Every structure is written in structure tokens, then in C-alpha cells.
Amino acid sequence: MARRKIIAGNWKMNMTPSQAVALCAELKDLVKSDSVDVVYCVPAIDIVPVVEAVKGTNVQVGAENLYIEDKGAYTGEISAPMLVDAGVKFVIIGHSERREYFKEDDAFLNKKVKKAFEAGLTPILCCGETLEQREMGVTMDWIRLQIKSDLVGITADQVKSMVIAYEPIWAIGTGKTATTEQAEEVCKGIRECIAEIYDAATADAVRIQYGGSVNAGNAAELFAQPDIDGGLVGGASLKADFGKIVNY
């Protein structure tokens, strides 16, 4: 089946609200596309101004995080209902930086995936291996464990609607990129894992992105692969080149 490509920018902890609005204005005409979905995943403080700034365009807004409770005494956190009310459609879950710096484990991330679906948000679930794990030859073992753990209790219909992002940790923000063959091999392996957990139809429907130093020069080759359905783009999403990635 033909899966619609999805190109999402992960702004990380960049862009003040005023800078975010300016970037949206700069990118507005550059990211126009009828053939791919375009998402800006932005810091919490930027969500409201960015939602306003992209009104009337083809851009949808995503969050970089959410908490597992709807409200309460969780100082500093942001809830799924807050995101929905602000106009957010997508949310990144399980990025390697959240796993490493904030010690989010798979059991916790599974709760986040469930909470996102409960609220009507589309999860962009991240997975990926370290350089050490790749060199040990356990890449797919590790990623399969992440996928299986993070999707416990998630239905096939839910999986069909979500996005999975494969991001080799050794290629995030380093300038290193997995070869096209490496990226396709893992994305294909993720799809096979989904088929084992659920069925072939679910595996065929789920969109799988590649992330890890995606840029205007390598996007076309990466996105041409049969199991790569777009990209989760870091640094390159903060400049005009993001338009070239969208219109690869």
C-alpha cells in the first residue's frame, strides 16, 4: 500500500516564542506540499504562538513531550489535554535524549503512548541504538525490545495510525548518518517486528521515519527506500533547508 510520507521537525530546546514565529514565516512558502505531511514539533512554550503562526498552512504542530497524568501536582510537566486544547496533533515519545538524560524507561514510555492515544494525539515513537550496540551486533535485538515494550496494550488500529521514528543514537546531531542501506535495513526490521506482534496489514500501514542528521543532500535517497516513510529532522528543521527536505 502507498503510505503518505511524513516529515517532522524536532526543534528540541531551540527557538524562543518570537524566534519560532519568525521561523514559521520564513518556512511558510518553502514547506508547501500536497504530497507529504509536515509537522513542527516544538518546545512547550512555543506551541501556542506556532499553532497561531501556521494557521491556514499545510503545517501541523507536534509537542516534544507529555506527562502520563491529565492534571495534578506535577510541577513543570505538560498534560495531553493541555496539548490538545492548544491545537497540537502529534507528540514525540521516547526520544533518545528523553531516555538518556531524563531516565525514561520503556514501561514509562508505554504509559505515555497510551495517554497520547487516549487524548487523540498521534505518537511519534522513537527507537534507536548506540554505537556500542551497533558494533556488538545487537541493533535489531535492542530495537525490537524497545518496540515490543513500548507497544504493550496498544491495539493494531492504534499502531496503524501512529508514527515510529528510527534514530540511531550515534547519528543524532553528530553529522554522521547511517548509510541508506543501514537505515532501510532497520526500518524494514521494525516493520517485520510489527507484523510479528500484530499482522501484515498493520505493518504495511504504520509509517516509519528515519532520523539522524537528515539533510537536504541525503533526504531524497533515504526517503526513496521502500520502508522509510519520511524523516524526523533535528538541526536542519531550524533553517530554510527544511523546505528542500520536505520537497525532496
Catalytic residues: 95, 167
User: What are the E-state strand segments in the chain?
Assistant: 5-10, 36-42, 59-63, 90-93, 122-127, 163-166, 207-211, 230-233
- Which residues 6+ apart lie within 8 Å of 239 measured at CB? none
The cell numbers describing 33, all together, are 506540499
Assess contact for 203 and 192: CB atoms under 8 A.
Answer: yes
Q: How far apart are CA 77 and CA 74, in angstroms?
A: 6
H/E/C letters for each residue in 180-200? HHHHHHHHHHHHHHHHHHCCH
Of the candidates 19, 84, 76, 13, the residue with the CA atom closest to the CA atom of residue 50: 19
Give the burial class of 76: count Cβ atoms within 10 A of its Cβ; 0-12 exposed, 13-18 middle, 19 or more buried.
exposed
Of the candidates 74, 153, 149, 79, the residue with the CA atom closest to the CA atom of residue 121: 79
